[in-house]
A and B are shown apart, each in its own frame.
Chain A
Amino acid sequence: MKDFLANMNLARWVILVSLVGSIGLGIWGWSLHGERVALEQSLVVDPNLGEVASRARNIQVLSLRHSELRKEYDREGLAGQDNPDTYFRRLAIHKDVALGGIEIKHQREHSPEKGVVDRKYLISPDTAKNSGRGTVGFDRARIANFLWLLEDQSRRVRVTNIRLDPVERKDPWVPNSDRWTWEVEVTSRQKAPDS
């Protein structure tokens, strides 16, 4: 080391310091260049090419999707362990349904496979509230609308049992009045809470 320092002169110091500095600056400059090129590529306005534009667009698309899903989530009222009665009752009084009050009985849960649970709800006209309609029954189209809305308004609900009986029990060769009593079972298949 002593010999090395003894042999150094101004020119050699300049060369040494400049080369070391050049190497350091070169490494830094190269990383800056790479960063700059990457930024310029990401800033291409075409969302298919530019990462930044693509992310900005994705954020808006995903935001809209989130808003939509969140509305659906709130509308169903079926989230988690929440009581879905509100969902059923709201559809029952829909203007195209108008079935009036309904009675909802929560059935025993059933597990068709590990980690999955079927929550079943037995829905029928509310006997007390529909006492006056017990003899006249319900219009077939309204019942059908109710059943269709049950499945249409939520992806997590299926009508799994339907029973329609005519109000008037007539002989088979006598056309009936197309007024019905009804009872349906709705199933919501969900991930088991403990899975």
Chain B
Amino acid sequence: MAKSCGIRIGPRRYELVVLDGGARKHRITAFSTGVLPYGGEDDVPETVAILREAIKAHNVPVENTAIAIDTGLAAFRTLKLPALDESKIEDVLKFEVEAQLPQWNIDDVVVDFVTLDHTEAETSLLVTAVPKADLGSLLELSARAGFEAQEAELEATAMVNAALSADICHIDDAQILVHVGELSTAVVVMDAGEVRAMRAIHIGGMTRDPAWESDEEGEDPEALERSVEQAVSRIRRELGRTLSGARTVNPIDAIYACGWELENLVETSIQDVPVYELDVFEEDGGQPAQGTAPLVVAYGVALRLLGGGTVRAHLRREELRYTGAFERLELPLAVAALMLVTLVGVFCIFESKQVALRSADVQLWLQSAINYMNGIPKQGIAGNLQYPWDDLDKYVANAASNDSGEVLAGIERKIRTEVGNLDEELGNTGKITQPQSALEALTRVVGVIGELGDEIGRVSIRKVIAETNTGGVGKDESVEVRLDMSFFANNASDATSHFDRFRNALADQDWTISVDARGTSEFPDGNGIYTDNLSIVCDLSKIDRSDEEVGS
């Protein structure tokens, strides 16, 4: 939800309205009216203090604030131009209206316009001119009070926007909108929901200001009352003239008045046209129960900031145009942005050069790796890869067109894959375990004889059978060694002892599953024994090979 604030700064009073919401749905969250000093030698500091206090007290969104100024400061002219779009009108407006503003130097005023009618042939404009000095002093005042007004407009246009948003003006009727200020009265003729004419009556309702009255000590109250009556009378007379002179398509059915609440104006009639109070506020919209008429203009200003209203008055022009924080900073920001883009560009150039240098380094590594890998056949220098294959050769040949780092990784990957394939082919991967070796089992059995040495005397092996049983379902792999052996000794007893020692030594081995002797026979001369088919079943998987040398 957006917040906006409209402030009417008049010659004697100010009104402030804070809106919260959008153009269609919004609510008054704060409002304030107050008296401004007048007639002193330097009223500005006191005026600034009063406005600053009001801003602070009502939590005004200073970043979204606009002001309405006294309509009496402006001059209104009607101008007809050939059909042009708005930007062209802006270009020629001052030049075209200069002749109609003889009282001012055209360079000393800001000129705004409202399109009254637009046909294919011509555009009819209502031109408003405001002296830059008056507008500038009010803008300076607001800046010193702590807020930068985004826009400035006349009370008249703010009143129109408020009335249009309240659906008072319709396509089939006409009205006169009146804002009674302190020193002037703004009059707007509306027809079919559009502005037809706008004028300022240079008399207001300041005599009703109690503060003003209190300042005029000693003045005759009856004289004041007569003064007010005269003011009302003059305003009514001017409104009557406006009614008479108004050229509207639809008959004027009402006069709506806001601002100062003058007696003998509202709830009366002028030339049989009733005068009503201009009530633009929604029911329970946050407005006060009574005395809403002075807030209409401030409400219209705030409403426009929320996107409401159709009259886009624009008095902040030329040197008085709104320059928010961003506008003031945009030139330094542009310079900073240019420096930033230059800096980042230089950074990119530096980094790209560095990347190119490092890439060249990687290319050198790649070339060196290829040279060592392939060797230089023309010079008879063999490479480390003695059996290159076609796929690798093609990959290396195309290396120049690819990223060097990726080519290095690709070469490594291809060789590693090929080495893996060869390892698998050669049975180095351990995925397929070769059967137990009958040769190893036989060697280990015979090795026991060697270890025992003299302990088993002289031994003769007469027949050898070693057979690997490759196992099967529920049966472990093993090797059976069968030996025909003779044990020579001084007597059969010693030979038997040697045989038992050998058999026991075999049984003690980790890899021995069983030792089965069918029995022994004594030599005829009694100097030994012999046995046939001594069966030793071995399981070589039980051998702890962790101590064995790799490759042994």
Chain A interface (Cβ < 8 Å from any Cβ of B): 9-12, 14-15, 18-19, 21-22, 25-26, 28-29, 32-33, 35-36, 39-40, 42-43, 51-53, 55-56, 58-60, 62-67, 69-73, 76, 79-80, 110, 112, 116, 118, 147-148, 150-151, 154-166, 172-173, 175-176, 185, 187-191
Measured CA separation A9–B331 after assembly (Å): 10
Decide if B34 is an interface residue (CB 8 Å cutoff): no
Chain B interface (Cβ < 8 Å from any Cβ of A): 330-331, 333-334, 337-338, 340-341, 344-345, 347-348, 351-352, 354-355, 358-359, 361-362, 365-366, 368-369, 372-373, 383-387, 405, 408-409, 411-412, 415-416, 418-419, 422-428, 431-440, 442, 460, 462-468, 470-472, 484, 486, 488, 521, 523-525, 527-528, 530
User: What are 13 A-to-B residue pairs whose CB atoms are below 8 Å?
Assistant: A25-B348, A29-B347, A32-B348, A43-B362, A43-B365, A56-B368, A58-B416, A59-B369, A66-B418, A158-B434, A158-B435, A160-B438, A160-B468
Asked if residues B344 and A29 are in contact (CB atoms below 8 Å), the reply is: yes
Q: How far is the CB of B46 from chain A (nearest CB, A)?
A: 38
Which residues of the other chain, A, contact B344 by a CB distance below 8 angstroms? Answer: 21-22, 25-26, 29
CB nearest to B407 among chain A residues: A55
Asked if residues B422 and A59 are in contact (CB atoms below 8 Å), the reply is: no
Measured CA separation A110–B352 after assembly (Å): 64
Asked if residues A173 and B524 are in contact (CB atoms below 8 Å), the reply is: yes
Besides A35-B351, A118-B435, A191-B431, 20 other CB < 8 A contacts?
A: A11-B334, A14-B337, A18-B337, A25-B348, A29-B351, A33-B351, A52-B361, A55-B411, A59-B411, A60-B369, A66-B415, A69-B423, A70-B386, A157-B434, A159-B439, A162-B464, A164-B463, A164-B464, A172-B484, A190-B432
Asked if residues A73 and B425 are in contact (CB atoms below 8 Å), the reply is: yes
Which residues of the other chain, A, contact B467 by a CB distance below 8 angstroms? Answer: 160-162
Which residues of the other chain, A, contact B424 by a CB distance below 8 angstroms? Answer: 191
Measured CA separation A129–B361 after assembly (Å): 65
Query: Of A56, A76, A165, which one neighbours B408 at CB under 8 angstroms?
Result: A56
Residue of A33, A39, A154, A190 with highest tally of chain B CB at under 10 A = A39
Which residues of the other chain, B, contact A187 by a CB distance below 8 angstroms? Answer: 434-435, 468, 470
Which residues of the other chain, B, contact A80 by a CB distance below 8 angstroms? Answer: 425
Q: How far is the CB of A18 from chain B (nearest CB, A)?
A: 3
Q: How far is the CB of B172 from chain A (nearest CB, A)?
A: 32
Which residues of the other chain, B, contact A11 by a CB distance below 8 angstroms? Answer: 330-331, 333-334
Asked if residues A156 and B419 are in contact (CB atoms below 8 Å), the reply is: no
Q: How far is the CB of A121 from chain B (nearest CB, A)?
A: 13
User: Known: A25-B345, A53-B365, A70-B387. Is A15-B333 also a contact (CB below 8 A)?
Assistant: yes
Measured CA separation A122–B354 after assembly (Å): 68
CB nearest to A18 among chain B residues: B337
Measured CA separation A35–B428 after assembly (Å): 39
Which residues of the other chain, A, contact B521 by a CB distance below 8 angstroms? Answer: 172
Asked if residues A79 and B425 are in contact (CB atoms below 8 Å), the reply is: yes
Q: How far is the CB of A75 from chain B (nearest CB, A)?
A: 10
Asked if residues B419 and A55 are in contact (CB atoms below 8 Å), the reply is: no
Asked if residues B437 and A21 are in contact (CB atoms below 8 Å), the reply is: no
CB nearest to A183 among chain B residues: B465
User: Known: A36-B358, A59-B373, A69-B426. Is A173-B438 also a contact (CB below 8 A)?
Assistant: no
Which residues of the other chain, A, contact B338 by a CB distance below 8 angstroms? Answer: 14, 18
Asked if residues A62 and B419 are in contact (CB atoms below 8 Å), the reply is: yes
Measured CA separation A72–B344 after assembly (Å): 59
CB nearest to A159 among chain B residues: B439
Measured CA separation A20–B413 after assembly (Å): 42
Asked if residues A55 and B412 are in contact (CB atoms below 8 Å), the reply is: yes
Which residues of the other chain, A, contact B365 by a CB distance below 8 angstroms? Answer: 43, 52-53, 56
Measured CA separation A138–B409 after assembly (Å): 55
Measured CA separation A191–B427 after assembly (Å): 9
CB nearest to B482 among chain A residues: A163
Query: Of B373, B426, B484, B524, which one neighbours A63 at CB under 8 angstroms?
Result: B373
Which residues of the other chain, A, contact B347 by a CB distance below 8 angstroms? Answer: 25, 29, 33
Query: Of B341, B409, B439, which one neighbours A21 at CB under 8 angstroms?
Result: B341
Which residues of the other chain, B, contact A70 by a CB distance below 8 angstroms? Answer: 386-387, 422
Q: How far is the CB of A4 from chain B (nearest CB, A)?
A: 14
Asked if residues B439 and A58 are in contact (CB atoms below 8 Å), the reply is: no
Q: How far is the CB of B168 from chain A (nearest CB, A)?
A: 29
Asked if residues B331 and A166 are in contact (CB atoms below 8 Å), the reply is: no
Asked if residues A40 and B358 are in contact (CB atoms below 8 Å), the reply is: yes
Q: How far is the CB of A36 from chain B (nearest CB, A)?
A: 5
Q: How far is the CB of A110 from chain B (nearest CB, A)?
A: 7
User: Known: A19-B337, A70-B386. Is A160-B422 also a contact (CB below 8 A)?
Assistant: no
Asked if residues A63 and B465 are in contact (CB atoms below 8 Å), the reply is: no
Which residues of the other chain, B, contact A166 by a CB distance below 8 angstroms? Answer: 462-463
Which residues of the other chain, A, contact B462 by a CB distance below 8 angstroms? Answer: 166, 172, 176
Measured CA separation A79–B424 after assembly (Å): 11
Q: 9 tightest CB-CB pairs across the interface, nearest first?
A: A18-B337, A172-B530, A63-B385, A63-B384, A39-B358, A160-B468, A32-B351, A164-B464, A69-B422
Asked if residues B427 and A155 are in contact (CB atoms below 8 Å), the reply is: yes
Residue of B345, B352, B372, B419 with highest tally of chain A CB at under 10 A = B419
Which residues of the other chain, B, contact A112 by a CB distance below 8 angstroms? Answer: 435, 470-472
Asked if residues A189 and B355 are in contact (CB atoms below 8 Å), the reply is: no
CB nearest to B352 among chain A residues: A32
Q: How far is the CB of A92 from chain B (nearest CB, A)?
A: 15
Q: How far is the CB of B413 from chain A (nearest CB, A)?
A: 10
Q: How far is the CB of B536 from chain A (nearest CB, A)?
A: 13
Query: Of A28, A56, A176, which one neighbours B348 at CB under 8 angstroms?
Result: A28
CB nearest to A50 among chain B residues: B365
Which residues of the other chain, A, contact B348 by a CB distance below 8 angstroms? Answer: 25, 28-29, 32
CB nearest to A156 among chain B residues: B427
Which residues of the other chain, B, contact A22 by a CB distance below 8 angstroms? Answer: 337, 340-341, 344
Asked if residues B385 and A66 are in contact (CB atoms below 8 Å), the reply is: yes
Asked if residues B361 and A43 are in contact (CB atoms below 8 Å), the reply is: yes
Measured CA separation A42–B383 after assembly (Å): 25
Q: How far is the CB of B287 from chain A (nearest CB, A)?
A: 32
User: Known: A65-B419, A69-B419. Is A52-B523 also a contact (CB below 8 A)?
Assistant: no
Measured CA separation A67–B486 after assembly (Å): 50
